[in-house]
């Protein structure tokens, strides 16, 4: 398939030029698309949908569970970094998965023979904030439900549960999705939906309040899995250690893992990818990073479910100057997209995004989503403390290839080092620094997604897919003309900042 942008990039190629975000702009076109009406639905990977194309970077100053929860609530997905022990990373994943209480996999249960007195003591002792329990008989089969109403109408706490519980149940099979649960509970007007297997044994439960909140709740485009739990990813390295991590992460129902390296087109990455796909064929594996079309093609052939593009565009990266490699990011995205066009494998544009307008450019060039580090670092939800410097508030932001991050000895293989190195032997590929404190991430996301919507309106693209297909570029732009000029900015808008201010 030939796209409009092909001619532009072919011309650039003929001139021996590669371009990045500052060199290009999208051409506007006839539009019937209002920014508020566009759909931001896209895909992270072959099987993982997104409701907005924002992915947070697997960096120890960006993505831990608090930030991953917020990103998923806004339709994107966060990748928990790997600069922490595997058990701790799996714990972080579980925090995201359990946050919304979609499907409850292991509900607390009571027995038919327990007395109500005993159940009440159990609730007090465990400080449960709920009072609905599936009731199991001597064979561990579901016999009934003990609900708030049953407690209210029970005047004699010495009665046993089987005398008080509700027996008229609506149940569903173990595989019931949140959508099916929503429809069934609405139809049957039941506030709890126990799930049972063919032998009548309990295998999960939905609670109406949770289901309703997830389906219609806050007005945010929650990115949830089929059980109604927020989606989350996690970074892993290569080799046996990576497989150990995957095992722990899979137990927590991780949605996707990312083989997170500075050179995705290398033997150890290909081998790790094949091993994971062999053991976990249903788990989506994102692989990165690459910046050449031929590399992207090889990863598709090796079984990648998504490919991450970007070698050196990141705000904290020094890879390009230290190692002398890398291709300007917009050309890299385009070349990779062209090389794998029609394969069905989505691309993630990773690094170098400074303004909301860079997002439609990245997608226009061929990405399906963007991975952000700098723009999300410094938010309230990002890890780390706020520091004050010359009267301004900051949070730290550092490269995963910086000395500080590499000293943790958990992600040295990201930068091709077989073994952890003593400090004086580390050759870093990133810097350590700080970014202005940005308050709540929702304020950042409102501006980023708003800018993307506007870009789509100007291009006349109603969907992310259309933006990829319709985009055409012009270049090189006069940067001075693109930015505010010949004016002293007296009131900085929430979505425009050229460089972090150093002082008041």
Catalytic residue annotation? 317, 414
Task: For residue 442, give the 3-state DSSP assignment.
Answer: helix
Residue closer to ligand XMP, measured from CB, 102 or 314: 314
The single residue among 227, 295, 331, 402 that binds ligand XMP, judged by CB under 6 A, is: 402
Minimum distance from CB of 62 to ligand XMP (Å)?
8
Q: Which of residues 19-78 bind ligand XMP (CB under 6 A)?
A: 57, 59
Residue closer to ligand XMP, measured from CB, 204 or 378: 378
Q: By CB under 6 A, tell whether 441 contacts ligand XMP.
A: no
Minimum distance from CB of 317 to ligand XMP (Å)?
3
Q: By CB under 6 A, tell whether 429 contacts ligand XMP.
A: yes
Comparing C-alpha atoms, which of 115, 122, 127, 126 is closest to residue 154?
A: 115
Q: Which of residues 314-343 bind ligand XMP (CB under 6 A)?
A: 314-317, 319
Q: By CB under 6 A, tell whether 445 contacts ligand XMP.
A: no
Q: Which of residues 258-297 bind ligand XMP (CB under 6 A)?
A: 262, 289
Residue closer to ligand XMP, measured from CB, 272 or 319: 319
Minimum distance from CB of 69 to ligand XMP (Å)?
19
Q: By CB under 6 A, tell whether 233 contacts ligand XMP.
A: no
Tokens found for residue 387? 């520091």
Residue ranges of the alpha helices (H) in 189-266? 208-215, 239-251
Minimum distance from CB of 351 to ligand XMP (Å)?
4
Residue closer to ligand XMP, measured from CB, 73 or 263: 263
Comparing C-alpha atoms, which of 335, 373, 368, 379 is closest to residue 354?
A: 373
Residue closer to ligand XMP, measured from CB, 235 or 283: 235
Q: How far is CA 210 from CA 43, 79, 96, 225, 289, in A?
A: 25, 24, 15, 14, 38
Residue ranges of the alpha helices (H) in 158-310? 161-164, 178-188, 208-215, 239-251, 267-279, 293-302
Residue closer to ligand XMP, measured from CB, 119 or 286: 286
d(CA 152, CA 375): 51
Which window, 91-99, 178-186, 242-250, 346-354, contacts ligand XMP (CB under 6 A)?
346-354
Residue closer to ligand XMP, measured from CB, 142 or 359: 359
Which window, 20-28, 160-168, 347-355, 451-459, contacts ligand XMP (CB under 6 A)?
347-355
Task: For residue 154, give the 3-state DSSP assignment.
Answer: coil
Minimum distance from CB of 398 to ligand XMP (Å)?
7
Give the H/E segment covering residue 353.
Answer: none
Minimum distance from CB of 59 to ligand XMP (Å)?
5
The single residue among 310, 328, 364, 457 that binds ligand XMP, judged by CB under 6 A, is: 310
d(CA 263, CA 249): 23
Minimum distance from CB of 180 to ligand XMP (Å)?
36
d(CA 378, CA 381): 8
Q: By CB under 6 A, tell whether 412 contacts ligand XMP.
A: no
Interacting residues of 489 by C-beta distance below 8 A, sequence separation 6+: none
Residue closer to ligand XMP, measured from CB, 202 or 359: 359
The single residue among 430, 451, 455, 457 that binds ligand XMP, judged by CB under 6 A, is: 430
Minimum distance from CB of 24 to ligand XMP (Å)?
17
d(CA 257, CA 27): 35
Which window, 11-19, 168-176, 235-243, 344-352, contacts ligand XMP (CB under 6 A)?
344-352
Give the H/E segment covering residue 50.
Answer: strand 49-50
Minimum distance from CB of 366 to ligand XMP (Å)?
17
Q: Whose structure tokens read 């073994």? A: 419
Q: By CB under 6 A, tell whether 237 contacts ligand XMP.
A: no
Residue of minimal Cβ distance to ligand XMP? 430
Q: By CB under 6 A, tell whether 384 contacts ligand XMP.
A: no
Q: By CB under 6 A, tell whether 223 contacts ligand XMP.
A: no
Residue closer to ligand XMP, measured from CB, 132 or 374: 374
Residue ranges of the alpha helices (H) in 113-159? 116-126, 148-152
Comparing C-alpha atoms, which of 277, 275, 448, 296 is closest to residue 375?
A: 448
Minimum distance from CB of 377 to ligand XMP (Å)?
7
Residue closer to ligand XMP, measured from CB, 314 or 360: 314
Share of the chain residues as helix, strand and coil, in percent rounded to the nearest 5: 35, 20, 45
Q: By CB under 6 A, tell whether 95 contacts ligand XMP.
A: no
d(CA 119, CA 160): 10
Spell out a b/e string for 467-496, using b for 16 or more CB atoms within 10 Å of the CB, else e: bbebbbbeeeeeeeeeeeeeeeeeeeeeee
Comparing C-alpha atoms, which of 315, 318, 313, 311 is closest to residue 500?
A: 315
Q: What is the size of the binding site for ligand XMP (CB under 6 A)? A: 25
The single residue among 24, 77, 283, 400 that binds ligand XMP, judged by CB under 6 A, is: 400
Q: Whose structure tokens read 């094949």? A: 274
Cβ 449 vs Cβ 52: under 8 Å: yes
For 14, other C-beta atoms within 10 Å of its C-beta total 8
Q: At what angle do helices 65-73 and 86-98 cross, to 10 degrees?
A: 30
Tokens found for residue 228? 């109604």
Q: Which residues bind ligand XMP (CB under 6 A)?
A: 57, 59, 262, 289, 310, 312, 314-317, 319, 350-353, 371-374, 399-402, 429-430
């Amino acid at each position: 398939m030939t796209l409009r942008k092909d001619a532009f990039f072919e011309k650039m190629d003929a001139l021996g030029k590669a371009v990045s975000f500052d060199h290009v702009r999208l051409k506007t076109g006839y539009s019937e698309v209002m920014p508020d009406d566009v759909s931001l639905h896209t895909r992270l990977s072959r099987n993982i949908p997104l409701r907005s194309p924002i992915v947070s970077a697997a960096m120890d100053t960006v993505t831990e569970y608090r930030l991953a929860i917020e990103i998923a609530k806004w339709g994107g997905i966060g990748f928990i970094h790997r600069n922490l022990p595997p058990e701790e990373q799996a714990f972080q994943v579980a925090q995201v998965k359990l946050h919304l209480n979609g499907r409850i996999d292991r509900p607390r249960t009571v027995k038919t023979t327990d007395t109500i007195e005993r159940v009440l003591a159990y609730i007090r002792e465990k400080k449960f904030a709920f009072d609905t329990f599936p009731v199991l008989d001597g064979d561990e089969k579901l016999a009934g439900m003990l609900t708030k109403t049953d407690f209210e109408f029970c005047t004699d706490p010495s009665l046993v549960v089987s005398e008080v519980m509700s027996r008229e149940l609506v149940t569903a099979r173990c595989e019931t999705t949140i959508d099916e649960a929503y429809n069934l509970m609405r139809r049957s007007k039941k506030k709890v939906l126990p799930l049972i297997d063919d032998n009548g044994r309990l295998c999960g439960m939905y609670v109406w309040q949770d289901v309703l909140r997830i389906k219609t709740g806050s007005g945010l485009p929650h990115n949830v899995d089929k059980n109604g739990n927020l989606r989350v990813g996690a970074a892993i390295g290569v080799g046996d250690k990576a497989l150990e991590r995957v095992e722990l992460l899979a137990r927590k129902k991780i949605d996707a893992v990312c083989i997170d390296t500075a050179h995705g087109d290398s033997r150890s990455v290909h081998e790790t990818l094949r091993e994971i796909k062999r053991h976990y064929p249903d788990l989506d594996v994102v692989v990165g990073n690459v910046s050449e079309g031929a590399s992207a093609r090889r990863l598709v052939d090796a079984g990648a479910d998504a490919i991450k593009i970007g070698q050196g565009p990141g705000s904290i990266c020094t890879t390009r100057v230290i190692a002398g490699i890398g291709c300007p990011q917009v050309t890299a995205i385009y070349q990779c997209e062209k090389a794998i066009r029609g394969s069905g494998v989505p691309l993630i544009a990773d690094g170098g995004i400074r303004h909301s307008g860079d997002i439609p450019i990245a997608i226009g060039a061929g990405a399906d989503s963007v991975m952000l580090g700098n723009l999300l670092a410094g938010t309230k939800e990002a890890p780390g403390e706020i520091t004050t410097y010359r009267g301004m508030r900051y949070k730290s932001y550092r490269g995963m290839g910086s000395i500080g991050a590499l000293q943790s000895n958990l992600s040295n293989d990201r930068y091709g080092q077989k073994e952890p190195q003593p400090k004086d032997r580390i050759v870093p590929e990133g810097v350590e620094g700080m970014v202005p404190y940005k308050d709540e991430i929702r304020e950042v996301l409102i501006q980023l997604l708003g800018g993307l919507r506007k870009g789509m309106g100007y291009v006349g693209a109603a969907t992310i897919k259309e933006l990829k297909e319709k985009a055409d570029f012009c270049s090189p732009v006069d940067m001075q003309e693109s930015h505010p000029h010949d004016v002293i900015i007296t009131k900085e808008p929430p979505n425009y900042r050229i460089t972090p201010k150093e002082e008041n």
